[in-house]
Amino acid sequence: MGLRLIATDIDGTLIRSDHCISPRTRAAFRAAMAAGIESVAISGRQPYSIGAVVAGSPLDGPVIGSNGAVSVDLLTREVIFEELIDVDAQRQMAFGLMEAFPGVKVVSVRDAGNDYVAQHGYSGEHPGSETALWSVTHSFAHLDEVLAEPSVKLVLHDAGVDPEVMLKVAQGLGVAGCHPTTSGASFLEVGRAGVSKASALARFCAARGIAASEVVAFGDNNNDVEMLAWAGRGIAMGNAVPAALEAADEVTLHHNDDGVAVVIERLLEGLDERDSRTGVCVGAA
């Protein structure tokens, strides 16, 4: 089978430390699109934030956000799918972590990632503070109200606790309806059980008749691990965390050194060489 889809994480992967997609990386995705290969951005960010990053690039279309919990077509604003955490499950997770870390504050992300309801007293890095392609809402409320409705993502933060420490405790709680992870941000991120970038990418590809073996995926953090293992070829960035490096099939350069573009260029060169010998269409299965 040939290469039919490229999936890429954003922070620490697609964009450099200046928060921009480099000209070389943009050119690589344009070349992939010209070769008939689809591309999709998949991130812990919400779609409105992904859209602001990829605007005007070949990735400007359907995207997957919230670590696989929501997919939106940026061009039409259509919500393609959305996976929510049940209220009982998110309450168990929040109260369990608060018992272990009394300073924890909670944010519920709702409405396909467009509405943030934060617990009074939440401070520090605020999810939803990124540049937005469209307007989103932010409000503060008492904890019961924060946890009263299902969430696309639950964010938990304690300035005195490393998110990786919180992650281990969250995993130890064994809350059946929740999937906790980290992405390099200053907070713990919780999604619906069974939902990950891998599950969302599998769903996205199935709708297009694309097999895992026809997918190349790029990532750098814990929330990319499942996706890197699922894809036919998982590529970890040179700056990736150990778990992502272990899950990947190969390691490319640092995200500041156009690691994504380097791999895409090499793959396209290989496809060009194969096609010149066999006459097979690049995008064919």
198-256 pLDDT, tens digit per residue, is: 999 999 999 999 999 999 999 999 999 999 999 999 999 999 999 999 999 999 999 99
More confident residue, 106 or 127: 106
13 is a domain residue: yes
What is the predicted pLDDT for the residue at 128?
A: 58
Query: Is there a domain that residue 57 lies in?
Result: yes
pLDDT at 282: 39
Same-domain check for residues 74 and 206 = yes
Q: State both tokens at 186.
A: 């200053």
CATH number, position 174: 3.30.1240.10
Residue 275 has pLDDT above 70, yes or no: no
pLDDT value, residue 272: 62
Q: In what order do the strands lie in the sheet with 105-110?
A: 137-141, 115-119, 105-110, 153-157, 188-192, 178-181
103 and 57 inside one domain:
no
Report residue 35 as tokens: 């070769």
Residue-wise pLDDT for 197-213, tens only, equals 999 999 999 999 999 99
Name the more confident of 5 and 279: 5
Q: Is residue 132 part of a domain?
A: yes
Range 152-159 average pLDDT: 96
- Tens-place pLDDT, residues 45-99: 999 999 999 999 999 999 999 999 999 999 999 999 999 999 999 999 999 999 9
User: Is residue 150 very low, low, confident or very high in pLDDT (cuts 50, 70, 90)?
Assistant: very high
Identify the pLDDT of residue 284. Answer: 35
Residue 121 domain-assigned (yes or no)? yes
Residue pair 43/69 in contact (Cβ under 8 Å)? The answer is: no
Which pLDDT band, with edges at 50, 70 and 90, does 285 fall under?
very low
Number of domains in the chain: 2
CATH of the domain at 265: 3.40.50.1000
Same domain, 176 and 203: no
284, amino acid identity: A
Q: Are residues 182 and 132 in the same domain?
A: yes
Single residue among 153, 174, 192 that ends a domain in this structure: 192
Residue 270 binned pLDDT confidence (cut-offs 50, 70, 90):
confident
Looking at the structure, tell me whether residues 147 and 73 fall in a common domain.
no
User: 173 with 96, same domain?
Assistant: yes
Indicate if 64 and 37 belong to the same structural domain: yes
Last residue of a domain, one of 173, 192, 211: 192
Confidence of residue 131 (pLDDT cuts 50, 70, 90): confident
Its domain, for residue 52, covers 5-82+196-278
**Cα Rg of the chain, angstroms:** 19
- 200 and 152 belong to one structural domain: no
Say if residue 150 is in the same domain as residue 170.
Answer: yes
Same domain? For 157 and 99 the reply is yes
Pick from 192, 211, 242: which residue ends a domain? 192
Interhelix angle for 259-278 vs 23-34, to 10°? 30
Q: Is the domain of 111 the same as that of 156?
A: yes
What is the average pLDDT value for the chain, to the nearest integer?
Answer: 93
Token readout for 236 is: 């970890």
Is 285 buried (19+), middle (13-18) or exposed (0-12) by CB count in 10 A?
A: exposed
pLDDT of residue 184: 87
Alpha carbon distance 63, 113 (integer Å): 12
Same domain, 205 and 173: no
Per-residue pLDDT at 124: 66
| Nearest-5° Cα angle at 35, 34 to 38 | 85
